[in-house]
Each structure stands twice: as C-alpha cells, then as structure tokens.
Structure 1
C-alpha cells in the first residue's frame, strides 16, 4: 500500500509578494508559485487518495483560521484556503483563483506554521502519515519571537513528526552561493528566526527559492515499493518423483520495470445531444470546460441480397473468428479456443546450466527480477546460498522455466548469481531469454580483407582502408572519447554521461507539459528543460578539440560533397545517369517507346511511359490511361478486394505527376473520381474506397506546398476531403 501523506503549503500572499525584485520580470508570488504548483500538480498526477494537500494563505486580506480567538492574538491575516483533502483538478482550479497578492502588509509566519500544524494533527490524528509543512515567504513582515514561541513550536512539530521545509524568496544560502545585497533589517531578522526554527526541528530544510526552482528542471525519479511476483518453490528436478531433487522456498521481486509515458484519452467538449453521455469525472474539468469520454461503436454487416441496400447488420455475438488458410477462411468457434491454450501450473524450475561465456549483453534488454530466499526460513537461505556459491565456483548460469501463476504464459529465465558472494546479501538475478525469432544474425564481409570469387584473399583493395585512413580513424575515435570528459568538484576526470543522469526525454517532457497545462491551461508551454537535452548533442568542447582529427579523416578518406539532386522539369523528369556515362537503354535496345499501359503491369509501364515522354500530350495520354485503369479496378472489385491495388496506382500517379510538376492532371482526375464514387456510378456503393483508401491514404488534391504550379491551398484540399462526408 502506498504511504499516506498530509502536506500543508503556507503561501505568503502579502502585498509585498506582488513586487518584482533582483532583476526579475515576474512578481515574487508568481516566481514562488512555480515551485508550489509543480509540487501540487505532481500530487494531482499521482491520483492517490491517500496523498492529501492543504493550503494556508499568509498575509490575506481576511482572517479565517480556528486559532484566531480573543485569547490568542497574533493569528491575524492568516486564512485556510483549502482544508486537507485529496487534490483534484477541480480543487486545483479553485485554488488558482485564490492565490493572488492581497492588500495587506503581512502576517506572522510562525503563527501560520502553528495553524498548519494543528490542521495536520486534526486530520491525521495518531495514524501513520508522512507529515510535511512547506512555508513559502519573502520574510518582509516582522515575526514575533520575543516570548520563546520558537521552542514551543519546534517541540510540538517534533512530537507530531512533522517535517518543516522553509523556502524563502531571496534568502541567503551560503552552500548554494546566493546572498541578497541591501537587505532590510526585518528580513534579516526573520531569516535568522526561521533558520533557528528549522534547526530545532528533527526533520527540517531551510533553503532559498532560486535553488528550489532550479531543481524543478531535474526529473524526479519515482520510487516504488518492491512487488512480489512469485512466492513458491524453486526446483531442480521433480520433487514428486525423485528424492534427490532440489526444492527451495524462494520469493521473486521485480528489479527493473519498463517506464512508459502517460497515455492520453480521447475526449470531446460535453454537449447536450438529447441523450445520455458518459462523462469521465470531475478531474477532467479544466479552464471552465467540461469534457466527455468518447465511446467507440462498431457495427458488422454482411452481404444479403434480400436486405435493403444489399447489406444486413449482424450482432457481435453471432460472429466467429476465422483464420485464412490459403484462399480459404477457416472458422474457429469459442469452444475450440481452449485447445490452443497451454494449460500451465505455477512453477519455477531449473532446466539446465550454461557457462558464463554464453551470456550475451543483449539479454539485459528485458525486465530483470531478483530471487531471494523465503523470509524467516533459514533452511531456504542455506540452500539458496549453496546454489549461488556453486554457480560462482563453476562459472555458470542457470536456465529456468517460470510460470507466475496457473494458466499464465511460461517464460525462460536466465538466473545469474549476485556479482560478489562476499556481500552479506545473496540473491539470484534473472532476465528473460529471447526467442530465436527475436535474435537477428547478420553476416557482413570482413573489414580487413577481400575474398574474391575464386577464393583468393586480398589485403590491399580499393574497398579496404589504407594505413593512413586507419590511423586517421583511430585518432578521431580517441579524440571523441567522452569517458573522462567531465570533472567532479575536486577536478578529477569522471564519465561525461553517467547512467543515473540520463533521463528519458519523452516521459519527463510529457509529464512536464501535462503539469504546465493543468496549472496554466491558456498559456503556451515552456521549452524542454535543458537537462533533458543535455546529451542530445555532442559536447561543444569535444567538437572543437577534435577539429584537426576530423580534417585529417576527411582528407584520408577523400570525402567529397554529393551535389544536391536537381528538381524535375515540366514535361520531363531528370534521368538517372550511370557513373559510367553509358546509355543503358541504347545498349539494351530499349529504343521502342511505350504508348499503351496494361492493367496487369500498370505501375512499371506508367513510369516507363513518363520517362520516355517528350511532350505534354504523351504525359496526358498516359495519365488518362492510368486513370481508366483505376476506375476499372474499383468498378470490377468484389467488395474491397481490388481497392488497395487501385489506391497504390493512384499513389504512383500522384507521386510521378508531382515530380513532373504537372499536378493539374491528377487534381482533375481525383475530382472526377470523387464524384463518380459518391454518386454510385462505379457499380454500386464504393464509398469505402473513398473514405478508407483515398481520404485516410492522403491521396487527395495536390497542394501548392507539394508542387508550386498546383494553386490549391491546404484549406481547399482539406475542404475537398471534408466535403466527402456529406
């Protein structure tokens, strides 16, 4: 079960927080709320009912807290903006409207801590919770510490087990290297008081806001609790048949798990259509808009001459799965499917052993697990320890068949002992073995020799690197070495890109964008954090230092720039010229010009006709023939059997006419084809050809962005496809 959390954020919203300081263009409150919104939105994204949040406003125009009574002065201008409760998108939206600078000078920060402390005490009682208080303030309003309240507050915080985190706007921090000049005496004294309060707490953090905001760009790694995937016997042999079989009570946990980016849901603005709609939940309300989930409905139709339109709807329950066997469809009823499934029992058994040398690095690509002895079972610990030591001594790994539970798919796992048996912790690591089809073995010719057809071995050849080229490449590889490029705090060389600083930019960028959009639905997204793009390009220093090696490599390899491919001219495509300069068509006697295009070999013959065309009339004639073939395929197609072939012919026609800069021919053809399909001229209802193969296949009008002479804009092309739905 996830840990329970009760967190209260104290946000200083006094009038002074609306000012800008130290060269910033945004107010102290907006700057501070970057940190607070990030923390709160992370809690919302986690979607855990046990992670609760409360918010207290410090320096508010009104006072609203239980401690503000006649006998307890000092709690003025402190308001509870949100009671401790699970955080949702609705409460986040309501909170955004409440966080704004007030017209009050301020309130007592220590008193606000007391209010938050009693909020947590009343909510959590004596249950097990992680309790935290975040205080965000610029410290411009005096704090009253004359009565020794600091000691009482810190003692109560320690008694309740509450961690206090104080983050001040422009607070001095020697470790971070920040010091505000010309600071007021009030702010200086407040920093000392808050520092003393944090020091007296058993769990406390005191820092400056600049460091906190800088750390927001560093992705937070999600820590998860161990998940037990298996609890049972690890066997070697069959204990039911042989007394000598090995049987150990073990537990298996996930060691690594693939992290995936959050998935998206398709929603639409909720409208009243006169019927029931399925809303997602209140958490999908953003920016005053309500969204509804999109339901997908699928209908099945079969050919029926007696039904209206020649089609009849059938229920999903009346369908059977069918598998193609040659040109015949073989039906498979639900009652037949159990025969195809492997009836397995929960099992973890060792099938054999392999030497360490047979282990391949790509085995590590799967999700790894860890196998340990059953807890509080000394016999299992001793038996597993003996197996681990035996594997070490024999330099071997075990291959095991693993079935997590009954009727689950079996897996083959490779069991590897932990690297050092001197460690106090002994275990087996496992990775899934790939199937033979998962491993691609490619054979390449050797790089150091050329073997002729007769079997003669050549050590010198134009395809083999010379000694100068080999040396230049060696120097270049050495110059681009990044293993010792960076340096630590003491100046010692360290690895440039350690694995724990290599973050997945896709996952963390999407999370960053979701949090930003949740808090500020109308503002543009900020660019990705620099730390995510840190290793996307080679270091500039490395490129500068390796310039001489790059030049030497270019000279030794005789690298020359390839000229850009010339664009096709109107009425005639550029011919591909062989390096030898020979006229291949003339040598092969291909002087005959093709004038007709057949249906069986339409695409090659169409390309040949365009390649041999010398005037626009030939291109128009070939295009007309290709268009008639497409129409014939659609008209004679039984259901959709020839739709794919017709669409491929259209794609080639479109591509070739774009290259010839004659888009008008294709646009004229596809406009007429649309009219014929939608009007039913091509032997019945052929709208599936239009919607599925032409619209979804992007075979509509050629726009001026694709070919300048077209004159068709993107809007016209989109409207052309939209108009088909009427």
Structure 2
C-alpha cells in the first residue's frame, strides 16, 4: 500500500457581509474583502500538489447555518463550505455573494471557525489558520474572550485579521511607551489636539470599532497571529507562486578514464520555468481514474473525424510534412547505455565562454552521501581543476536509452561548500558563427566628452546599486532572478481563472500588476533619462525623408540606369521600383547583374559571407576573361567589373579583407595576360588595390606592399591558343544586354 500523502493546512476564512461593510458608492470594505478571499482561493487552486482544506464562513448573513447555533447565540453566521479542497464551484459561489441585511458577532464567528478546524487526532491538518475579514462595526460580546484565546492556543490555531488599519496607540508625546492606552478608544493628546482614527470610508471610527480593535489586538497577540491592512495584503495575494520542490537525486558514477570512477549525486540547481500541465489532474476525488481519450480530426471547417487506423505519425520540416513509419522507428538510434557522466577531456576555462552555455538546466555535482572515499576523491578533483583553471568536458546519459548530452564541469569552491557545476554545451552543428565589424574605428573618432557620456549611460543602467540600509557599502542586485515572479505564469493563471468563472467572455489582456513585473526599476529609468539629455545634445539626429513617389520617367528606367543609381546611393534608400516587383529571387551571383545579386544575397537571412564572396570572385574573373577574348563590349564590361570590385572591396574591408586581397593576384595575372591596361588604370584611379592595415585592422598588407603591387610587369609572349567556348553565363549576359 503506498504511503499516505502528507496532509495540508486547515484554513477557515471568515467574511463579514453585514450592511456596515457595504455602505459606500465606490470600492467598499466588502468588495476589497471578497477580492482578497477570491485571491486566496485562486492561489490554493493553482498551487502545485496543494492539499490545503478551506472552510468559508459568512458573518452577518440573513440566515443562520452552523452546528453551534442556538436561539440566542451564534446567529446570522452561515457556513458556506466546510473544510475541503478548493474547486471552481466554490470560487464561483464566492463571486455571487451579495451580502446580508443583519449583523453578527465576530467573536462567535471565530468560535464557529474553531469548531470546523477541530481535529482531536491531529491527523487531518498539518496546521490550522483562521483569516478574518471585518471592520469591527458590529456589536460583539467579549465575555468569552479569554476562553477563545485559550481555545486558539490549545488547538494551535493562528489568527490573521485583514482589513482594519489600526494605529499605534501606545505612545504619547511624553515618550511613555509602557503606560496604559486610553479606555475610550480616542487617541492621546498630540500637540494639544485629540485625534480620532479614520475608518476605511474616511469617516471617524465608532466606539464599537475601537473597542473591537482593542480586543482583536489582544487576541492576535496571544494567538500568534497578525493584523494586516488591504494595502499590505492585496499585493501579496494577487500573485500566484509556483511551489519550489526539491530536485530528485541523480546518482551515477563520474568516469575519469577507463579505470577511475567516483560515486556522485547530481541535483538540479536551475531549471527553465514552465507553466504547469493539466494533462493529468483531479478535483477532489483522488481515487478517480484518469482516462485519456484521443481523437483525430481533419483541419477543415467541419473538423471531420478520422479513424485512428488511417493515421500515421509525422513531423513538420518547414512547411513539409514528413511521415514517420514503422521502418523509420526501427532505424532510430538508441544509445543502449546506462546512466553515466564520463570525462571526454579537459580544456582551459577561457575556451568555454558564456555564449556556449546551452540547455535548460544546471546541475550541482557532489559526492555520494555516506561515501567518504568519494567525497575525498571528488574534493581533490575539484581543487585540481581550480588550481589549473581547467574545466572538464563530459558526456552525460541521463538514463538508459537517453540521448547523450555534451556538458562542462566547472569547479565551485566557497568557504561553506565545494562542488562541481555541470552546464550543457552545444554540439558543433548547433553553433552559428557570425562575423561583425569591429567598433574600434568608430570609438576612436569619439571625443572625450562623447565617451564620458556613453560611460555615464552604462553606469546608470547598472542593475547593481548600493544598499543604503547597510552601512558597509554593500551592493544589491535589482531584478534578481530568484526574487522576480514569472509573468507568463501570472497571466496564465489569471486567464484560466477568468475562463473558468466567465465561460463565454474573451480572455482579458494582462492586468497591471503583471505588466509591472516587466517594467524596469524606477532608479534605472531616472538615470537613463538624465543621460539621454546629454546624449541628444552630443549625438544629434535628423529625420531622413524617403521618397514615396516616382515620376513617370523613373518608372520606365532601364536596368542599367537603376543599377548605376543604386551604386551611387550611399544613404541606404530602400524605395521600391518597378523592377523590384518583377525581379526573381536571387540564389546566386550572375554576370547579368552581379552587383545587385551580391547585395541581395548579403541582405538575405543568415548570409554566408565567405560563400558569397567566392561567387563574386569567380564572376569578376569570368568577366575579365570575356573582355580579354573580345566577346563583349569592352565599355560595358569595364563598368561592370569596376562596379563589382568597388562593392566587393567595400564589404570585405569591414568583415574579412583577405577575401578581397586573395582576388587581386589572379586578377593582376589576367590583366597582364590579356593586355587589359585600361582596366588596371581604373583600378589605380579608384583606389581598388589591396586593402591595407590603415583601412582595416584585420588586414595584414602594409601600404608600401599595396603600392608595389599596383605596378605591372609585362609577361613574356606566349603562343596564342584557340579561344575556348564561352559558358552559358556569358550568353545570359548578352541576352540581358
């Protein structure tokens, strides 16, 4: 027989519904109390593995319904629900509560709540709690106060009261904090004026309220409870919390080489947060069987059902559906390896930068509990990694037939503990390498005042601030992940609650307190705004007005004219032209429009710059070869080659100058062998030679070497061979011309 689940708390919620708490036009004490009560029920509903049983008692109801009622006692007190698990039905019922027309004794309501939580065998509840919502406006009898306090203490029930704002009456101007308070409920004299406490509706509190607050303060103090205002309670109750549960131990062996093993235990330290699943859930009957029913339907308006025999598994690859048949499942890879954590090798910590950390969880690796030899061996291993500044690259198999996961073991040593931190790493095919130009040339042009302004902005956006409460100048972190609630979970629970209560209403937008989770702290916003004023002055901007219309002459401009305009335009004008509407998707660079194809490929999604430059290199050499054989107009080819060199040199200077510099030697050989002096003169005039170190820090060519390279040396005459047949690309160039 499985062990009995640990019992939850027993909670009795007492809601005052008498006319006094509903007297108002706008937000009343009753509406705020009901809001808090519903928030408590919702938190219990969404708490994971919550077994708390909740009872609801109405104080001041028109009818009397409780087991202790007599003709002259415990009147106008109704038990709306006895202690049981929270359900949507009781939440809907609380939503429909409108209030009563009579008043009840709040001390009697406490006795009824104590009776509902009575557990003589101490096996039903792990703890007991009463939450009272009242403003003490109703008449009460305090002759049984001592007995009530004794009953709360004997049963171990804590009392919390939400609603009234009770001011501190214990001090007066003389500083005597030990003397007795006023018996008439009025505040002591302050600066010669007697002050009267205000009620929730702005009116002065009555003598009954002040007397009730005095009795409640005594009861709460002796019953280990607390009194909270709505301002304190509501912000704590409107958020849903995901219960943190301890990680299960992952016991395995750390294999270092073929013959050395250490018994270890892994525990999840950090894990990706997800919303709870509702695939398997029950309401109040834990013994009810959960039966899953699966049906298949076509994606049409009628949702036509399909028999299960006519359905096979499949996966989507982009927009293509790929079927997955039995033969494929038999070919699936299975590791067939028991759980393990084996060391593949070691490398310096600097070789595993932060951007390589992957996966959705982080493990803490410690020695197996109770194995002293394993603890000593693991400690030596941890200290060796720390001294050498190394990390271990590992292969992890979570369980038998699980896929292997690559990871790194980092040593973590503090004065309190020492352990290994395991972080998943990506495989080679999962890594995407992108090359970006250096910002050094841009920052070198900035003045000292501009650099200082940027430094001030970085400092203002720092999330670590000095803790003014501590005098030691320690710093605390704003938006610390462990202290920030998950806004996805908050909105998910709010949306699900709204749909359960208001079945046919549309899902509302995220509420304000969820939006506020995503807002940056006020200190950061204020610091940013102060720096922004200086940045606007130092870095003025102007609005670029793009052309929205074109005249009739431009609509019919030729391809050659459009390409010349685009080459001469450096302001990044993206105006749509008529040729843009009819141009086919560019997949490679052609001789017809090489420059346009080059830029189109660079603007594509995840461009491969090396491959694009390789295509551009081949096209340039092919155009020069066509020119040397005289198969095409020299003026057209000259302009096209110069345009290609200009675009190629400009882009490669920013990313990888070696790609352009590698083109120049074969281009020079082609110019010499074809006697194309005119092209080389244009290369000199346009400064299209090798990219030097003065132009790009990534280049290795000096200015003197670049100048010497531009000098042509005549090659010895060779026998003229028969011209080779031109490729289809030249024909396609002639067709476009």
TM-score of Structure 1 vs Structure 2, range by shorter chain = 0.5 to 0.7
Secondary structure (helix, strand or coil) at the match of 2:31 reads helix
1:508–1:2 distance in 2 versus 1, CA, 3 Å: farther
Q: How does 1:488-637 map to 2 (within 5 A)?
A: 488=468, 495-519=477-501, 527-529=511-513, 531-535=516-520, 539-555=524-540, 559-563=541-545, 566=548, 603-604=582-583
- The separation in 1 between residues aligned to 2:522 and 2:560, in whole angstroms, is 37
1:115–1:467 distance in 2 versus 1, CA, 3 Å: same
CA contact 1:232–1:251 (8 Å) conserved in 2: yes
Instruction: Tell me, yes or no, if structure 1 residue 437 matches structure 2 residue 402.
Output: no
Instruction: Tell me, yes or no, if structure 1 residue 355 matches structure 2 residue 370.
Output: no
Any idea what the Cα deviations from partners look like across 1:376-431, whole Å, max 9, x if unmatched? Answer: 444443343333333333333333322222111222232223341x21x4432222
Q: How does 1:44-83 map to 2 (within 5 A)?
A: 44-46=45-47, 48=49, 50-69=51-70, 74-83=73-82
Hey, what does 1:258 align to over in structure 2? 272
Of the three residues 206, 210, 225, the one matched with 1:188 is: 210
1:128–1:375 distance in 2 versus 1, CA, 3 Å: farther
Q: How does 1:16-165 map to 2 (within 5 A)?
A: 16-20=20-24, 25-46=26-47, 48=49, 50-69=51-70, 74-97=73-96, 99-107=97-105, 109-122=106-119, 125-127=122-124, 129-147=126-144, 149-150=145-146, 152-165=147-160
Using the TM superposition, give the Cα deviation of residue 339 of structure 1 relative to its aligned residue in structure 2, in angstroms: 5.1
Hey, what does 1:634 align to over in structure 2? none
- The separation in 1 between residues aligned to 2:298 and 2:153, in whole angstroms, is 61
- The separation in 1 between residues aligned to 2:76 and 2:307, in whole angstroms, is 69
CA contact 2:46–2:240 (8 Å) conserved in 1: no
Any idea what the Cα deviations from partners look like across 1:571-608, whole Å, max 9, x if unmatched? Answer: 9979999999965799xxxxxxxxxx9xxx9953799x
CA contact 2:313–2:323 (8 Å) conserved in 1: no
CA contact 1:37–1:519 (8 Å) conserved in 2: no
Hey, what does 2:247 align to over in structure 1? 227
Secondary structure (helix, strand or coil) at the match of 1:32 reads helix
Secondary structure (helix, strand or coil) at the match of 2:271 reads coil
Q: How does 1:331-370 map to 2 (within 5 A)?
A: 333-334=326-327, 337-338=330-331, 340-362=333-355, 363=357, 366-370=360-364
Secondary structure (helix, strand or coil) at the match of 1:418 reads strand
- The separation in 2 between residues aligned to 1:353 and 1:236, in whole angstroms, is 11
1:323–1:552 distance in 2 versus 1, CA, 3 Å: closer
The gaps in structure 1 that reach 5 residues or longer are 266-279, 284-291, 301-312, 450-461, 587-596, 608-726
- The separation in 1 between residues aligned to 2:89 and 2:550, in whole angstroms, is 58
Using the TM superposition, give the Cα deviation of residue 442 of structure 1 relative to its aligned residue in structure 2, in angstroms: 1.9
Using the TM superposition, give the Cα deviation of residue 548 of structure 1 relative to its aligned residue in structure 2, in angstroms: 3.7
Secondary structure (helix, strand or coil) at the match of 1:446 reads coil
Hey, what does 1:415 align to over in structure 2? 409
Secondary structure (helix, strand or coil) at the match of 1:566 reads coil
- The separation in 1 between residues aligned to 2:488 and 2:315, in whole angstroms, is 39
Using the TM superposition, give the Cα deviation of residue 106 of structure 1 relative to its aligned residue in structure 2, in angstroms: 2.4
Select the structure of larger CA radius of gyration: 2
Using the TM superposition, give the Cα deviation of residue 205 of structure 1 relative to its aligned residue in structure 2, in angstroms: 2.1
Hey, what does 2:571 align to over in structure 1? none
- The separation in 2 between residues aligned to 1:496 and 1:347, in whole angstroms, is 39
Secondary structure (helix, strand or coil) at the match of 1:186 reads helix
Using the TM superposition, give the Cα deviation of residue 438 of structure 1 relative to its aligned residue in structure 2, in angstroms: 2.9
CA contact 2:270–2:362 (8 Å) conserved in 1: yes
- The separation in 1 between residues aligned to 2:558 and 2:114, in whole angstroms, is 79
The gaps in structure 2 that reach 5 residues or longer are 171-195, 285-291, 301-305, 569-578, 587-737
CA contact 1:56–1:112 (8 Å) conserved in 2: yes
Using the TM superposition, give the Cα deviation of residue 541 of structure 1 relative to its aligned residue in structure 2, in angstroms: 2.5
- The separation in 2 between residues aligned to 1:120 and 1:246, in whole angstroms, is 55
Using the TM superposition, give the Cα deviation of residue 37 of structure 1 relative to its aligned residue in structure 2, in angstroms: 0.7
Any idea what the Cα deviations from partners look like across 1:685-722, whole Å, max 9, x if unmatched? Answer: xxxxxxxxxxxxxxxxxxxxxxxxxxxxxxxxxxxxxx
CA contact 1:472–1:552 (8 Å) conserved in 2: no
Hey, what does 2:400 align to over in structure 1? 406
Hey, what does 2:262 align to over in structure 1? 247
- The separation in 2 between residues aligned to 1:366 and 1:606, in whole angstroms, is 38
Of the three residues 387, 399, 404, the one matched with 2:381 is: 387
Secondary structure (helix, strand or coil) at the match of 1:561 reads coil
Of the three residues 181, 193, 207, the one matched with 2:228 is: 207
CA contact 2:59–2:77 (8 Å) conserved in 1: yes
- The separation in 2 between residues aligned to 1:528 and 1:484, in whole angstroms, is 26
- The separation in 1 between residues aligned to 2:207 and 2:566, in whole angstroms, is 91
Of the three residues 15, 40, 47, the one matched with 1:11 is: 15
Using the TM superposition, give the Cα deviation of residue 30 of structure 1 relative to its aligned residue in structure 2, in angstroms: 1.0
1:359–1:335 distance in 2 versus 1, CA, 3 Å: closer
- The separation in 2 between residues aligned to 1:368 and 1:74, in whole angstroms, is 60
CA contact 2:38–2:91 (8 Å) conserved in 1: no
1:351–1:498 distance in 2 versus 1, CA, 3 Å: same
- The separation in 1 between residues aligned to 2:16 and 2:119, in whole angstroms, is 23
Any idea what the Cα deviations from partners look like across 1:112-154, whole Å, max 9, x if unmatched? Answer: 222222212249842452432211111112332234x34x433
- The separation in 2 between residues aligned to 1:431 and 1:87, in whole angstroms, is 40
- The separation in 1 between residues aligned to 2:560 and 2:372, in whole angstroms, is 77
- Supply the RMSD in Å over aligned alpha carbons: 4.7
- The separation in 1 between residues aligned to 2:155 and 2:553, in whole angstroms, is 85
Secondary structure (helix, strand or coil) at the match of 2:68 reads coil
- The separation in 2 between residues aligned to 1:130 and 1:573, in whole angstroms, is 81
CA contact 1:476–1:553 (8 Å) conserved in 2: no
- The separation in 2 between residues aligned to 1:606 and 1:388, in whole angstroms, is 56
- The separation in 2 between residues aligned to 1:496 and 1:340, in whole angstroms, is 46
Using the TM superposition, give the Cα deviation of residue 358 of structure 1 relative to its aligned residue in structure 2, in angstroms: 2.8
CA contact 1:68–1:75 (8 Å) conserved in 2: yes
